[in-house]
Structure 1
Amino acid sequence: MTQNKTKSAPYYNIGQLRVDYWNQLKIETSELTRCHKGSVNEKTHKLKIKELLKDLKGVECFFASPGKERLHKLDKAFAAHEYASLSHLVAETTKQLVGDSYKGNSDFVDFDEHSMESAEEHDQQNSVRKNHFEVLFVDNISEQEEHTLKHSLRNLRSHSDKFTYGVVVQRSFQDAMISLLFNHNIQAVVIRYAPPYHSSKITPLIKPYIEEVTKLDFSTKPETELGPIMGQLIKQFRPELDSYYVTDTSLGYLKDSTIKGFRRIFYQTEDIQELHLTIMRGIAERYETPFFSALVEYSQKPTGVFHAMPISRGNSVFKSRWINDFGDFYGRNMFLAETSATTGGLDSLLQPTGPLKKAQEMARDAYGSQHTFFVTNGTSTANKIVMQAIVQPEDVVLIDRDCHKSHHYGLVLAGAYPVYLDSYPIEEYSMYGAVPLEQIKSRLLQLKEAGRLDKAKMLLLTNCTFDGLVYNVERVMQEVLAIKPDMVFLWDEAWFAFAGFANNYKQRTGMVTAKKLYEKYNSAKYRKQYNDHIKGLNNGDQSLLPDPDKVKIRVYATQSTHKTLSSFRQGSMIHIWDEDFRRKSENTFLEAYMTHTSTSPNYQMLASLDVGRRQVQLEGFELVEKSIEMAMVLRAKVTDNPQLSKYFDVLTVHDFIPNKYRETGLKEYYSKNEGWSRMNEAWEKDEFVLDPTKITLYIGKTGVDGDTFKNKYLMDKFNIQINKTSRNTVLFMTNIGTTRGSITYLTNALLKIADELDEEIKSLSDKEREIRDKRIHSLTKEVPPLPDFSYFHHSFQAVPGVPGGNLREAYFLAYDEENYEYVPLNECLSVMGTGRKLVASTFVIPYPPGFPVLVPGQVVSNEIINFLTVLDVSEIHGYRSDLGLRVFKERILDRHKITTSMGGMSIGKKKKQLI
């Protein structure tokens, strides 16, 4: 029964399946209580309950809660025909599981006949519900020994403990790894000596969800090596966890890798109390929030305010007759924590030595970087900090043209020469994809041939893009470093801060890849691989592998914590994995950080970054997995529902990524006939993948453009807020704050919109229907062109004929109003037809798509004019429809040619020679 159910109602992950099966069991046991004894209905429900209990045993064995003890209790009630008791227990369990209330109830987790049966009783006796977690013990022990272990650990609890934990025991390597994949409540792992390898718990029901475990093959390894191997794998699968090793191998025989691989190593003869205290201490350390705690403590101190900020302590607010409603809205704590002081337990962001320093170090460890810096004015500023820190005037930066505008302005400030890279177009949906690796390499080889490769300093790419396209970071870095071994990488991960806490995602992040490549290139195995590779090359072939004697791993990632994790608006971070940081970049980075960082940073924002770090370390794995699940549920609902699919389509992999960039051939994550496609292989191999939490809804069949659909339908009627639209799409995003209720609400709204469209179509006259059909044809067939970057005018080329433009010089040339003029957009093509080259004197940035279609110094092409002409967006920054396109005057360009004849000479030198 349930196996067929699984095929017809597929699940994205085991968590979704688990909750649904418990809900099914609740329905069946409730129905059973209403059946007449001996009836056909009773027999039917009993059969279904029996199969559901069997299936749930195969899942709950990997959890401490509800766990096998609760299933055992349900089995006993079922066998004894105590159906009312059975229904009550199942309903209570399901309620606590769905509502997550069991996380504050340790006795629910360790449920047996002697423990309390409800969270309410637990609260009455303990007055405060404590955060609860689970500890995985890996040891081939008997059931009696397991019971003794749990009993011993339970007896060590104290009312003064800040946390409680339940214990889940697995007796094999595979079962332990499955637990790590399934059970997000696990916060610590204790590996006892020599676990066996093979699982006896793999059922057909769970098999589709454990590919990451079944593809591993350590079965030939001696059992004595499996514990240390598991310790290494924990750092790959769940690096946030504390791992401990219990052994009887003497120190002299323990490998260094084993000693370094665990938080602590215990010996079999040591007191279990020490293990218990160590586990609790590990959680307490991750729970610590140095700056938030210091801010709370500061706010509770009585102080006299004789510094700037009248708003501090709320004095200027709550005493006011005219703005006290402002104070009532935010509450007193907000103002008690508002200060310009950097003493009294607080710290300076510009030169931290106390709680802020420690908070950033804890963030460093959580995100896997070597250094992490908090930024309080958004990732726009973080991008400029990194650009100024790394790039000098006249350095060359390879940059995707459709990246965030802050990068382009950062280039102006730094005086670097951009080599713009074009993403492949997705013209049907009026958006761009990502930059193919081959284009990046071809630009580097052009620079190499022109003798300019030494000037190439940085590669800057957006990962992931607003629309969810994700690069194969490892492949990009490896093949770029094979050409330019000291290239600095800046990965703009503004929309990807959550990725380091999901199994599939983390392999495509800058920090994880940096560490992986550093270890790889410094290994003897890689040196041999490189030497063999070089021997196999023909003369003139470009190596695909970096030279281990020359390669340097220098990676920076900027993240908008506030976009995808918990932080106040503008809370961002800069993560650094740069083996040359201290020697080459630390001083310039700190100077750039000083340049762009306020001397009066928002302390509430800093506290939110600190608390957000705590959250992702303790529950990031769970929350990110659930946000992906919510996205998958919405995708499936739109695809499967006939009323929704009549007007809407969810764009998926094959819509966004051409076949040549998908070597695995994966076309979509979900289909009505095949259910969920497994994504693991695609995320490992394909050049580009699609982040499923970015849900692009194609609305062309509605006859309504994206901007109107956003405002008229989503906002005005349902108060649903979204960030991005195109001519015929709207973008929804799930995040760690997305709930089942919000997905249901959105689905309900889309259904109502579809019903409204049905009614509207029925009421149309023939002429109105013709007009509607024309709108649909325009949105679905009349695709506006998506122009590539044209080129810099030769006056602003760094070196004539070589990629790289003098953006800064063009930008500041336009400061003098005598140097530019306006040409009406509808006259541009005719003016260009006379042979005149129009050269932009400003950035022109349509919203959407939100990136420059023109930059200062760029030659205007026919394709760009056509694009701007057909754009139906509400705002274009840098363009005034009443005046036209702002371009340089011809005489300015003619005069400016004199300076460019001096090649790549600096601006200052040019001026001296002209004088």
Structure 2
Amino acid sequence: MPATKTISAHHYNIAQLRVESWNNLKSESTKLENSNRGTADEKKHKDNLRKSLQEIQGVESYFAYPGLGRVNALKEMLDRQEHTALTNKIAEITKYLVSDRYRSSPDHEDEDFGIEAGEKGEIADGNKRNYFEVLFLEDISPKEEVKLRNDLRDLRTAGDQFSYGVVVQRCFQDAMIALLFNPNIQAVVVRYAPPYHSKKITLLIKPFIQNVLKLDLSKVPQAELGPLFGTLIRKFRPELDTYYVTDTSLGNLKDNTLKSFRRIFYRAEDLQELHLTILRGISERYETPFFSALKEYSKKPTGIFHAMPISRGNSVFKSRWINDFGNFYGRNMFLAETSSTTGGLDSLLQPKGSLKKAQERASDAYGSRNTFFVTNGTSTANKIVVQALVRPGDVILIDRDCHKSHHYGLVLSGAYPVYLDSYPIEKYSMYGAVPLEQIKEKLLRLKKAGRLELVKMLLLTNCTFDGLVYNVEKVMEEILAIKPDMIFLWDEAWFAFAGFTYNYKQRTGMYVAQKLYGKYKSNSYREQYANHLKELKDGELPRMPNPDEVRIRVYSTQSTHKTLSSFRQGSMIHIWDEDFRRKTENTFMEAYMTHTSTSPNYQMLASLDVGRRQVQFEGYELVEKSIELAMVLRAKINDHPRLNKYFDVLTVSDFIPGEYRESGLTEYYSPAEGWNRMETAWEKDEFVLDPTKITLHIGRTGVDGDTFKNKYLMDKFNIQINKTSRNTVLFMTNIGTTRGSVTYLTNALLKIADELDQEFKPLSQKENKIRQDRIHSLTKDYPPLPDFSYFHESFQAVPGVPGGNIREAFFLAYNEENYEYIPLGECLPSMEEGRTLVASAFIIPYPPGFPVLVPGQVVSEEIIHFLTALDVSEIHGYRPDLGLRIFREKVLNRQKTVTSMGAMGGAGKKKLTN
């Protein structure tokens, strides 16, 4: 295997490779400096350094800093044998690169450190000058490139709020690679028609550019490549400002070209206009309407004659007893605390000013048609959407192991749930995701029963707590082929970050909604659909949506605070619904007002506004880094003999059965092979695993997940995690994860491994037998996971047809005479005697945090066995002292009669087994 391929195989992404390459350069230059002149040792280090510089040159050509110029300067210093100066310069560049100081006003003010000569590191008000880079795509000579850089440098002033470097790429492929490699790029200028093929693709960078290499655009006319590049930017990096420089007259410019670019310039126009437009575009994205208004409001001297004594901090800082509270949070928190909706502020329930602008900017950032801020979490966001879209008696297809807020939302709305079961992962006591075939099977059964018209929504969790991600496009296309007006609610509580890097983005609700809308409106799709109909056999149902009937109606609820920057409970509802204005806007606003406080937390709203700014400027980089750190942690545990003695990082094949993995990908990393690329899997497989959700199997420790979390992680190391199972613990990386925190976790796991060694050494033979039995229980004996049983016929919407009246069962239990408690140990004997037990309450073990029983559901033997084997201390809705709360038999008989009478109108419909 070539050396360069080996280097690439052991780095997940180009950022990791780049930093380690510069650290290696630093190490090698130090060795060269310390070697004796004229010796074989000096020659070896010089050859190694020259080879390393040649390799890093192929990477740095896509960055303005350090960039090709500095690498060439280093090579010249090596040729001149200036070993000490070379070592110092490499160390200096590495320090600035690794620390990111070059992007935030370094102390140095020369052109070697990202700020051009003569510029100041601070602007007039003392704030730091943010640095970014501009990509120019144009086939120009080196001399012309130097002139372009100098001309742009001359236009900059000390008062500019931002500073930028220039990256020039001379062909289409290299510009695409720069977009993927360089997160500093915030603006792109396409000048004239570039050639297509790159001459810089080496074995070193090839593994990291699969999304570029799979593009087959070499036959596209060169004149069309510039406008096409603008279109692809919207696909891969839509947050960037794009500009086009051309000589084509306005009358000859295509509509797609006009839509793809923020502004189009002509060659004869002044370069200063382009420079000012670039800065203006950055400034507009940097603006945070509500946060800025809140800051301005806090500076105003005001008289407080309304509610909230805490406003301005008056009731806090004057107090002798709670002024420590004020000192802890700081004065600005209280200066910004108000119930005012004027003075630059706004009303969340009827926004017209700064909040309206903030939500519009969020909509642009997240790719929705409408975005609404939610200040009491995604639990409330879920209830808002369900209440807005479904009426009592409507049918919802819903994954049974979704968040409990959805189940309670069904009670509020009166919709009939048709529960979908995820495939079980019994070895680790968790569930996967719902196979598409099961969704289609339930939908076709409802169609056969004549109830397809009542089906309003498909509700799925994407991604799941454990990191299972659906193929959103495939699900929507195949479901819309059966029911073209289906509404999709994707619960993306743990997936808010996914819209800011391409692999993840293509499995999000908003991205797919926009993609399918364009696809179904195209003439090419109409031709495909017509050909598809001709190929169908007699009686075969179409597998493609009818373009004349299909409607794109997609809603995503996201816990911004879970994976992006926001105060706790800060969430968003994103909407891509082509019928929103016509069918849903009024009911949505009623539901929004029903569940939204009239006294929303302004700090939370400001954090949502600022979080939007962050993802538009650095979301791509931060998300990629969080994935990189997750991969680094996975590799470290897999590679380290002291860690893999007790711990296993579960990977793709552990979570996803082979029939759902078309790509054949089984793992992201192995010590022998290095990294496997995940692009193909994320494009094609029915389910994929989000690598930032790191599930650690701890069965070989002999310690269950809950004990491991509390006794070892929390009590000893203050490491917080959200989820455990019988034999696993779940770690997550996010945009706030640092290399230091990953190192700390690794160190903690090493210490835990050492402690386990010490605990096991002095065990007697009998004690060791007990320990081996615990390990066997956690690694070999696992309780089967129960599927959803069925609704009792008293609570079926239509007897024998999927769909249950959960609302009626829920409120029937408000009368204490309608239910009784049966101890868990007496349930199976009662069932063996012929009694049917029907739950009157939600039973929700935590973890995993979803119902194993819902009101109106028949209790099965499997469910009793599961509850008996559970070793968690928290089960919502269950009273250990009393037992399961179930309906009395006389209530079921009475309810059965009522249900039968209510269903008489549908007596002619065929019954289906449940």
What TM-score, normalized to structure 2?
A: 0.97
Q: How far 1:759 moved relative to its partner?
A: 1.6
1:748 is matched with 747
Q: Which amino acid aligns with 1:95?
A: K
Is it true that 1:22 corresponds to 2:31 in the alignment?
no
The structural deviation recorded for 1:46 is: 1.2
Does the CA-based 8 Å contact 1:107-1:116 persist in structure 2? Answer: no
Q: Distance in 2 between matches of 1:268 and 1:88?
A: 43
Amino acid at match of 1:178: I
Is this contact kept in 2: 1:106–1:165, CA < 8 A?
no
Q: Which residue of 2 aligns with 1:910?
A: none
Q: Letter of the aligned partner of 2:131 in structure 1?
A: H
Shift of 1:74: 1.2
1:157 aligns to what? 156
Shift of 1:124: 11
- Give the aligned partner of residue 100 of structure 1: 100
1:562 aligns with 2:557: no
Superposition map of 1:865-880 within 5 A? 865-880=864-879
Residues 500 and 509 in structure 1, CA contact (< 8 A), matched pair in contact too: yes
The residue type paired with residue 80 of structure 1 is: R
What are the within-5 Å matches in structure 2 for residues 396-475 of structure 1? 396-475=395-474
CA distance in 2, matches of 1:122, 1:134: 16
The residue number in structure 1 matching 2:270 is 271
Contact 1:65 1:110 in 2 (8 A): no
Unaligned runs of 5+ in 1: 907-915
Q: Determine whether 1:253 maps to 2:277.
A: no
Which residue is equivalent to 2:319?
320
SS in 2 for 1:883: coil
Contact between 1:69 and 1:111, CA under 8 Å: does it hold in 2?
Answer: no
Cα deviation for residue 112 of structure 1 reads: 5.7
> 1:104 deviation in Å?
2.1
Partner of 1:86: 86
Give, in angstroms, the shift of residue 459 of structure 1. 0.2
Residue type matched to 1:152 in 2? D
The amino acid across from 1:666 in the alignment is L
Choose 579-588 or 95-104, whichever is displaced more.
Answer: 95-104
CA shift, 1:9, in A, is: 6.2
SS of 1:306's partner is coil
For the pair 1:288 / 2:287, whether they are aligned, the reply is: yes
Bigger mean CA deviation after superposition, 894-903 or 598-607: 894-903
Contact 2:115/2:163 (CA < 8 Å) preserved in 1?
no
Question: Is the alpha carbon distance of 1:905 and 1:470 closer, same or farther for their aligned partners in structure 2, counting shifts above 3 Å?
Answer: farther
Matched, 1:13 2:28: no
Return the offset for 1:503. 1.1
**Contact 1:346–1:355 (Cα < 8 Å) also in 2:** yes
2:687 paired residue number = 688
Deviation at 1:38, TM superposition (A): 2.0
Any conservation in 2 of the 1:291–1:356 contact (CA below 8 Å)? yes
1:369-428 deviation line (CA, Å, top 9, x unaligned): 000000000000000000000000000000000000000000000000000000000000
Mark the CA change 1:9 to 1:221 in structure 2 (over 3 Å): closer, same or farther.
Answer: closer
1:855 aligns with 2:854: yes
Q: Matched residues in 1 for 2:130 and 2:464: separation?
A: 36
Which residue identity does 1:470 align to in structure 2? V
Alpha-carbon distance between aligned partners in 2 of 1:114 and 1:264, rounded to the nearest angstrom = 27
Kept in 2, the 8 Å contact 1:792–1:859? The answer is yes
Q: For this pair of structures, how many residues does the alignment match?
A: 905
CA distance in 2, matches of 1:757, 1:604: 45
Contact 1:172 1:197 in 2 (8 A): yes
1:383 matched to which residue of 2? 382
Distance in 2 of aligned mates of 1:810 and 1:597: 27
Shift of 1:105: 3.9
After superposition, where does 1:728-877 map in structure 2 within 5 Å? 728-877=727-876
Amino acid at match of 1:638: I
Query: 1:839 touches 1:860 (CA, 8 Å); kept in 2?
Result: yes
**Pairwise CA distance, 1:41:** 2.5
The CA deviation at 1:3 is: 2.4
Cα displacement string for residues 711-732 of structure 1 (whole angstroms, at most 9, x for unaligned residues): 0111111111000000000000
**CA distance change for structure 1 residues 173 and 428 in 2, over 3 Å: closer, same or farther?**
same
1:782 alignment partner, SS class: coil
1:623 to partner: Cα distance: 0.3
State yes or no: 1:235 paired with 2:234: yes
**For the Cα contact (< 8 Å) 2:102–2:114, is it kept in 1?**
no
Please report how far the alpha carbon of residue 534 of structure 1 lies from its aligned counterpart in structure 2 after TM superposition: 1.0
Change (3 A) 1:222 1:853: same
> Which residue identity lines up with residue 604 of structure 2 in the other structure?
M
CA contact (8 A) 1:458 1:487 kept: yes
> For 1:12-46, what per-residue CA distance to the aligned partner results, in whole angstroms no more than 9, with x for missing partners?
01000000000001111122222222233222221
2:670 is aligned with 1:676: no
The residue aligned with 2:911 is: none
What is the CA-CA distance between 1:81 and the residue it aligns to?
1.4
- Normalised by the length of structure 1, the TM-score is 0.97
Contact 1:139/1:193 (<8 A) preserved? yes
Contact 1:396 1:418 in 2 (8 A): yes
**How far 1:127 sits from its partner (Å)?**
5.9
Q: Deviations over 1:728-749 (max 9, x none)?
A: 0000000000111111111111
Residues 1:113 and 1:465: Cα distance change in structure 2 (over 3 Å): closer
Letter of the 1:186 partner, please give it. I
State how 1:518-529 maps to structure 2 within 5 Å.
518-529=517-528
TM alignment of 1:684-723, pairs within 5 A: 684-723=683-722
Structure 2 CA distance for aligned equivalents of residues 636 and 18 of structure 1: 18
Distance in 1 between the 2:351 and 2:762 partners?
67
Tell me if the contact between 1:400 and 1:461 (Cα under 8 Å) persists in the aligned partners.
yes
**Pairwise CA distance, 1:257:** 1.1
C-alpha distance 363-8 of structure 1, shift in aligned 2 (>3 A): closer
Question: Match of 1:801, as an amino acid?
Answer: G
State the alpha-carbon separation in 2 of the partners of residues 795 and 233 from structure 1.
55
Q: What is the 5 A alignment of 1:625-640? A: 625-640=624-639
1:659 corresponds in structure 2 to 658
- Paired residues of 1:64 and 1:110 also in contact (CA < 8 A): no
In 1, distance between residues paired with 2:191 and 2:762?
72
Query: Deviation at 1:114?
Result: 13
**Paired residue secondary structure (1:902):** helix
SS in 2 for 1:33: helix
**C-alpha contact (below 8 Å) 1:396/1:457 kept by paired residues:** yes
User: CA deviation digits over 1:603-642, x for unaligned, max 9?
Assistant: 0000000000000000000000000000000011111111
Q: Aligned-residue CA RMSD in angstroms?
A: 1.8
* Cα separation, 1, equivalents of 2:533 and 2:86: 69
**Residue number in structure 2 paired with 1:139:** 138
CA distance in 2, matches of 1:8, 1:280: 36
Which piece of structure 1 moves more, 97-106 or 597-606? 97-106
Q: Measure how far apart 1:117 and its partner are.
A: 8.7
> What is the DSSP-based 3-state SS (H/G/I as helix, E as strand, rest coil) of the residue aligned with 2:901?
coil
What SS is found at the alignment partner of 2:111? coil
Change (3 A) 1:504 1:108: farther
- 2: CA distance, partners of 1:703 / 1:41: 52
Q: Aligned runs of 1:575-594 on 2, under 5 Å? A: 575-594=574-593
Give the direction of change, closer, same or farther, for the CA distance of 1:107–1:268 in structure 2 (3 Å limit). Answer: farther
| CA gap 1:116/1:257 in 2 versus in 1, 3 angstroms | closer
Question: Post-superposition shift, 1:115?
Answer: 7.8
Any idea what SS the aligned residue of 2:34 has? Answer: coil
Give distance in 1, aligned partners of 2:396 and 2:8: 51
Gapped regions of structure 2 (runs ≥ 5): 906-914
Alignment map for 1:505-654 (pairs within 5 Å): 505-654=504-653
Q: Separation in 2 of the partners of 1:773 and 1:900?
A: 54
TM superposition shift of 1:107: 10
Change (3 A) 1:378 1:128: closer
The reply to whether residue 893 of structure 1 matches residue 896 of structure 2 is no
Alpha-carbon spacing, 1:394–1:697, altered in 2? closer, same or farther (3 Å): same
Q: Which moved more, 1:102-111 or 1:630-639?
A: 102-111
The SS at the match of 1:643 is: coil
Amino acid in the other structure paired with 1:344: G
Which residue of structure 1 aligns with residue 204 of structure 2? 205
Partner of 1:912: none
AA aligned opposite 2:414: G
Which letter does structure 2 place at the counterpart of 1:232?
A: T
Code of the residue aligned with 2:883 in structure 1: it is G
Shift of 1:289: 0.1
Change in Cα spacing, 1:654 to 1:109, as seen in structure 2 (3 Å) is farther
Q: Which residue of 2 aligns with 1:67?
A: 67
